[in-house]
């Protein structure tokens, strides 16, 4: 079964064409790294798969039209910069909001148990009763990941989850994702600028408003695809293709 199918997916904001004729099939259980230049429509693609932006074309999730997909199939980690750090709340409450799909003004015992389990899964149990405004970037990303995992989703959508995380935290983040996928068989789509992470994915989607390349990393990250997507082959990309890091 395909976890995600799109046919002719297009998104326009006024005069701006964010996505155009995006058609792809994502195998169930795959780990897809989504790469492309700034403004390529990567975040817009995830939002379209979640039904958060209007689109033309067709989206199917696990064989069902998007409108018939179970909302609890999805887990979503947005870009960290979208969060208002002045919001007075605890990490535990943010995780519980992933269960309710609404903000919890009172947390029940079963909700607390599941939230603490999710925080423990990502190594953030000690953050449960800490105010969100006192969390570092890496800590906040762990809490958002716990929020996404608390429902044990079949499809996990991650928008640059390693932003604000140091290298050790980044490696730890990927370890938690791989452990969750191994345990549940979930499908993961992750926007990333980390070429090493893309190299370890099962599939890579190279996007620049259209699908430039999709498939195993060695095929999708070819010099031809990267030149077409980015307009040039930069120093970082060239080192990646040669097996090194910038």
Specify the CATH number for the domain of residue 208. Answer: 3.40.50.300
Residue 197 lies in a domain: yes
Q: Would 89 be classed as within a structural domain?
A: no
Report percent pLDDT > 90 for the chain.
Answer: 63
Task: Specify whether the CB–CB gap between 77 and 148 falls below 8 A.
Answer: yes
Higher pLDDT, 142 or 20: 20
Can you tell me the distance from the alpha carbon of 49 to that of 61, in angstroms, rounded to the nearest whole number? 8
pTM, to two decimals: 0.87
Q: Is residue 122 part of a domain?
A: no
**Number of folded domains in the chain?**
1
| Strand extents, DSSP E, 107-202 | 155-159, 187-191
44-61 confidence digits (pLDDT tens):
999 999 999 999 999 999
CA pseudo-torsion sign 209, 212, 214, 217: negative
Please give the sequence-ordered ranges of beta strands (E in DSSP) within the chain, or none if there are none. Answer: 2-13, 16-27, 31-35, 56-61, 64-65, 74-77, 155-159, 187-191, 203-208, 210-215
Range of the domain at 189: 2-83+154-241
Query: What's the chain's average pLDDT?
Result: 88
Tens digit of each residue's pLDDT (9 = 90 or more) over 164-215 = 677 777 788 888 899 999 999 999 999 998 877 787 799 999 999 999 999 9
Euclidean distance between CA atoms 214 and 204, whole angstroms = 6
Tell the burial category of 66 from Cβ atoms under 10 Å away from its Cβ (0-12, 13-18, 19+). middle
Report if residue 113 sits inside a domain: no
Query: Higher-confidence residue: 246 or 224?
Result: 224
Q: Using DSSP bridges, classify how beta strands 2-13 and 56-61 pair: parallel, antiparallel or unpaired.
A: antiparallel
Whether residue 59 is contained in a domain is answered as yes
pLDDT band at 237 (very low <50, low <70, confident <90, very high): low
């Amino acid at each position: 079964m395909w976890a995600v199918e799109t046919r002719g997916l297009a998104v326009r904001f006024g005069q701006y064409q964010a996505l155009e004729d995006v058609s792809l099939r994502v195998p169930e259980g795959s780990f897809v790294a989504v790469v492309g230049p700034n403004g390529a429509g990567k975040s817009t693609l995830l939002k379209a798969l979640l039904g958060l932006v209007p689109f033309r074309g067709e989206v199917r999730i696990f064989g069902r039209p998007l409108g018939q997909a179970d909302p609890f199939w999805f887990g979503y980690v947005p870009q960290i910069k979208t969060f208002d750090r002045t919001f007075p709340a605890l990490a535990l409450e943010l995780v519980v909001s992933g269960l309710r799909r609404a903000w919890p003004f009172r947390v029940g015992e079963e909700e607390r148990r599941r939230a603490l389990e999710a925080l423990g899964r990502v190594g953030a149990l000690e953050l449960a009763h800490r105010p969100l405004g006192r969390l570092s970037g890496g800590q906040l990303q762990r809490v958002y990941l716990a929020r996404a995992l608390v429902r044990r989703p079949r499809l996990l959508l991650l928008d640059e989850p390693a932003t604000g995380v140091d290298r050790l935290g980044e490696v730890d983040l990927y370890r938690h994702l791989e452990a969750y996928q191994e345990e549940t068989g979930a499908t993961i789509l992750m926007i990333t600028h980390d070429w090493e992470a893309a190299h370890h994915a099962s599939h890579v989607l190279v996007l620049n408003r259209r699908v430039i390349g999709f498939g195993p990393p060695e095929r999708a990250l070819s010099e031809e695809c990267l030149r077409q997507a980015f307009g040039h082959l930069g120093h970082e990309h060239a080192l990646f293709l040669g097996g090194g890091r910038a």
